[in-house]
Structure 1
Amino acid sequence: MAASEGPALISKAPSSELKTRVLSAIVMIALALGAAYWGGWPFAMFWLAAGIAIMIEWTDMTGIEPRRIVQTVFGLGLLTLTLLYLMNAGFAAGAGAALLFLVLGALVARGSREKLWAASAFAYAAVIVLVPPMVRDYPEIGLLGLIWMFAVVWTTDIAAYFTGRTLGGPKLCPAVSPKKTWSGFLGGLFAAALAGFLVAWIGRRWGIDHAFGPVSVIALSMVASVASQIGDLGESALKRHCDVKDSSHLIPGHGGVMDRLDGFWAVALLIGIALLAAHGTA
């Protein structure tokens, strides 16, 4: 009886894992889109939670000590940044608070190496905490810009995965991520260009005006897709350095929050720099 059950159990395992991944993905997408539609403080709190989770995963992976004290300092720092943003405190207040908590957390960490890892954890998490609410509230971008970010990153990830598995071919960066291929990279790139164009086109059809023409949207979508894939490779390099498979086991079937937001983080960083530049020239 046991011998006959073995193959059946083995064959069911991949199907069960895929089902878990799909269900988790549906829940995450629903939460992200629901919070984006709502906007305001619920949306800011959603990304604060994501940023705190990322900060904890980063500090856990890199072995910073005293870990819980550093995480507490940085958690309070990220909360402060969110509250200052919601209160419209201004760039100077936010930048000052960010620098203060970054220095405090780095000073608490032991050793020069751990201080550097600690500062990097806070800076990385701060991008996720601040940029999505900034995009959501920006008058000329708003909800459409946020949906564009989601569409480009998600489409890049999905298309790269399936194109790479289907076509195979030369490896993209085997020293960092042995499974990624150039075919997957190109598949993700072109799929993101199409997704970004469709989001902008549908938005205009629904009366949401924006200043970007079709060529500009396609070009920006391709740049964002490249950034997303570089962000994915960057997190893979960090995990390889720390000798871990996943950043955590928080999300069933997906690993950690960093594992899901590495590409989005890179796109958010680009958008954040662009928004700061626009703010500086305004």
Structure 2
Amino acid sequence: MPAASPSGPQGPRPWYATELGARFASAIVLGIVALLAAYRGGGLFALFWLLAGGAILYEWTTVARVRPTLPLQVAFGLALAGMTLVLVTDAPAAIGFGLFGLGCIAGAVVARDTRNRIWALAGFACAAVVTVVPPLVREHPELGITGLLWMFAVVWTTDVTAYFVGRKLGGPKLWPRVSPKKTWSGFAGGFLGGVGAGLLVAFVAQRLGWVPVASLPVVVLLSGIASLVSQAGDLAESALKRRFEVKDSSRLIPGHGGVMDRLDGFFAVALLVGAVLLGARIAAA
């Protein structure tokens, strides 16, 4: 007879086999890909963010259960692709705004009712921000790769330090009805980490002679605002998932869930930066 298998409690799994290990590995891989694409710039970088925006569009329409799902995804996806083409070919910005408007009109017509129309258009707007803003920053003459690295550094460091400080120190919950695990200690740690990371990017860029984002005192202020906005974006996505009673936006990224789960803070900062760029463009017109 075959020997009986040993019984009793098994030892703890190695760290790389845990959810934290999967989260760490996914973050490293995605970070490397994002940085390589940012270094290359141009069409490859724009394609990277088109894929990210398309993933957000898919996840949002799935989580919010907008109807009819597939026709809305196709209409919005074509609009995002057209907007990316405008960026790559340096076509007039008015064409990009026109495509966004056509996408909104198509979504409003195709959506089944007012409820579906509102949620569908909100998802399209979020996907458009993620698709368009990073390539705009990368090609901006006064921001360029420095501005993009600043965005990455603030968002990523805010997320990481908030996670680990919150787990280490614990304490009062930040907003338990929306996100039961987030704490005020994590919030403060994320804020300080984001400010420090943004300042470090600006300092290194200044030393290397790159185009600076701004003076260092201004960078401290902007990094603080961006860190707060990043954490607000994280909370907003948590509220969205709680509203529709889902744990993750999808299962596309091991350890993280979906692309929305990974880019919630970045979306919020991209929205802030995009609004600043649009305001500056209007003021200069």
**Superposition TM-score tier, normalisation by shorter sequence:** over 0.9
Displacement over 6 Å in runs of 4+: none
Report how many aligned residue pairs link the two structures. 280
- Structure 1 residue 6: Cα displacement: 4.1
- Show the counterpart of 2:48: 46
Identity %: 53
Give structure 1 stretches of 5+ with no counterpart.
none
Contact 2:146–2:211 under 8 Å retained in 1 = no
Contact 2:194–2:227 under 8 Å retained in 1 = yes
- Show the counterpart of 2:218: 216
- Show the counterpart of 2:92: 90
- Show the counterpart of 2:109: 107
Q: Could you say what secondary structure the match of 1:172 adopts?
A: strand
Letter aligned with residue 272 of structure 2: L
CA gap 1:14/1:63 in 2 versus in 1, 3 angstroms: farther
How far apart are the structure 1 equivalents of 2:223 and 2:100? 30
- Structure 1 residue 209: Cα displacement: 3.5
Q: Could you say what secondary structure the match of 2:262 adopts?
A: helix
Higher helix share: 1
- Show the counterpart of 1:16: 17
- Show the counterpart of 1:7: 10
- Per mean C-alpha deviation after superposition, the further-off stretch among 220-229 and 89-98 is 89-98
How far apart are the structure 1 equivalents of 2:261 and 2:269? 15
Give the alignment partner of residue 247 of structure 2, picking from 245, 248, 254.
245
- Show the counterpart of 2:133: 131
- Show the counterpart of 2:123: 121
Contact 1:155–1:191 under 8 Å retained in 2 = yes
How far apart are the structure 2 equivalents of 1:271 and 1:26? 25
Residues 173-222 of structure 1, C-alpha deviations (whole Å, 9 max, x = no match): 11100110111111010111111111000001101132622211111001
How far apart are the structure 2 equivalents of 1:40 and 1:194? 29
How far apart are the structure 2 equivalents of 1:16 and 1:95? 46
Letter aligned with residue 113 of structure 2: G
TM-score normalised by L of structure 1: 0.96
Residues 76-101 of structure 1, C-alpha deviations (whole Å, 9 max, x = no match): 11001101122222222111110111
- Show the counterpart of 1:274: 276
Give structure 2 stretches of 5+ with no counterpart.
none
- Structure 1 residue 7: Cα displacement: 2.5
Residues 154-180 of structure 1, C-alpha deviations (whole Å, 9 max, x = no match): 000000011111111111111100110
